[in-house]
């Protein structure tokens, strides 16, 4: 009982939202490419690099320009993180779209390269391969929303979270508007569903796909930066721990709809939060708890596939 009550505490929601943020950003990134007809396997790579480079640039800008205000260093880090995400996505776009490499293999290779490369870069700069704690770096602040924070019960739940949480929610809305309410979003959807139709009205399919991949890098970068500049203020090895793939599952479950992705990401955050709560209670081993998100993802995959198969069968039997 006590356990259930603890679920309503603001603490728990904070834990859920913490897990939600990176999954949400990465899922939105995966959603944009999925709408253009591409499966983005390199979300891990995008997040790892943006996490690391964001920390490095924000930290080093203070080291080299000690007079810069902290906020400026943070912003520099943010720009670096975004550029990192764009760089990874442009490599993905070039090799899989232009040189026609299998995008699954390229994605996996980029992920492995990011894991090894991020350790290597840490080594080059900081002579350690485990984390960047020796570098003082900056975090996005927590935000207390005036007025809302004073509402009893709900106030503490909604207010006081890291800025990036609110950015994630905003991103959901922005991506929704982009995909469904802009001409470019319309073209992306056309290219993803029927590239011949798009081609026949003069749309350059390759350009649209490339743009979708780059945009995906931009959005996913925020997910990566949350790890090292929101939740923590340092980067540690393999910080993303498979969240990129969980994000893909969340995106699939919502059938590439931003609003659905919001809820699916919340669901994974919830599983994560429950897991942490259970482990602090000592009820289950931390290790097993850590396995929960991945197991839930597999179930989600099966669920999604069953739903899709039922839908196809319904169409077939309607004849």
Site residues, another protein (CB under 8 A) = 39, 41, 91, 95, 98-102, 104-106, 108-110, 112-113, 115-117, 119-120, 123-124, 129, 177, 181-183, 185-187, 189-190, 193-194, 196-198, 200-203, 241-242, 245-246, 248-249, 252, 285, 287-288, 290-291, 294-295, 297-298, 301-302, 304-306, 308-309, 316, 319
Query: What's the min distance (Å) between Cβ of 42 and another protein?
Result: 11
CB 141 within 8 A of CB 167: no
Residue (144 or 285) nearer to another protein, CB: 285
Residue (75 or 301) nearer to another protein, CB: 301
Residue (79 or 186) nearer to another protein, CB: 186
Query: What's the min distance (Å) between Cβ of 14 and another protein?
Result: 24
Query: What's the min distance (Å) between Cβ of 146 and another protein?
Result: 30
Query: What's the min distance (Å) between Cβ of 113 and another protein?
Result: 4
CB 269 within 8 A of CB 18: yes
Residue (36 or 157) nearer to another protein, CB: 36
Residue (9 or 104) nearer to another protein, CB: 104
Residue (76 or 91) nearer to another protein, CB: 91
CB 165 within 8 A of CB 222: no
Here the contacts of 210-214 (C-beta below 8 Å, separation 24 or greater) are: 210/93, 210/97, 211/184, 212/32, 212/33, 212/35, 212/36, 212/38, 212/188, 213/33, 213/36, 213/38, 213/40, 213/89, 213/90, 213/92, 213/93, 213/97, 214/86, 214/89, 214/90, 214/93
Query: What's the min distance (Å) between Cβ of 253 and another protein?
Result: 11
Query: What's the min distance (Å) between Cβ of 154 and another protein?
Result: 32
Query: What's the min distance (Å) between Cβ of 224 and another protein?
Result: 18
Contacts of 137 (CB under 8 A, 6+ apart): 55, 56, 58, 59, 77, 228, 229, 233, 234
Residue (70 or 199) nearer to another protein, CB: 199
Nearest by Cα to 43 from 92, 100, 97, 9: 92
In the 8-state DSSP scheme, what is residue 123? H
In the 8-state DSSP scheme, what is residue 145? P
């Amino acid at each position: 009982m006590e356990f259930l009550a603890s679920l309503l505490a603001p603490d728990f929601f904070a834990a859920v939202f913490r897990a939600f943020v990176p999954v949400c950003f990465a899922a939105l990134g995966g959603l944009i490419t999925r709408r253009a007809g591409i499966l983005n396997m390199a979300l891990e790579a995008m997040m790892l690099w943006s996490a690391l480079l964001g920390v490095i640039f924000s930290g080093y800008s203070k080291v080299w320009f000690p007079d810069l205000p902290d906020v400026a260093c943070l912003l520099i880090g943010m720009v670096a993180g975004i550029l990192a995400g764009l760089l990874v996505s442009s490599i993905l776009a070039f090799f899989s779209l232009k040189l026609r490499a299998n995008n699954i293999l390229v994605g996996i290779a980029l992920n492995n390269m990011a894991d090894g490369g991020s350790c290597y870069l840490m080594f080059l700069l900081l002579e350690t391969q485990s984390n960047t704690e020796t570098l003082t770096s900056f975090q996005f602040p927590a935000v207390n929303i005036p007025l809302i924070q004073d509402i009893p019960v709900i106030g503490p739940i909604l207010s006081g979270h890291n800025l990036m949480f609110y950015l994630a929610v905003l991103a959901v809305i922005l991506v929704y508007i982009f995909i469904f309410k802009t001409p470019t979003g319309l073209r992306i959807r056309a290219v993803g569903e029927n590239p011949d139709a798009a081609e026949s009205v003069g749309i350059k399919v390759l350009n649209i796909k490339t743009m979708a991949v780059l945009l995906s890098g931009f959005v996913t970068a925020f997910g990566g930066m949350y790890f090292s500049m929101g939740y923590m203020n340092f980067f540690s090895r393999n910080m993303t721990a498979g969240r990129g793939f969980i994000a893909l599952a969340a995106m699939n479950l919502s059938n590439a709809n931003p609003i659905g992705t919001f809820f699916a990401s919340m669901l994974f955050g919830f599983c994560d939060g429950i897991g942490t709560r259970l482990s602090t209670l000592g009820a289950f081993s931390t290790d097993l708890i850590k396995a929960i998100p991945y197991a839930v993802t597999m179930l989600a995959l099966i669920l999604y596939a069953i739903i899709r198969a039922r839908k196809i069968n319904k169409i077939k039997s309607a004849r």
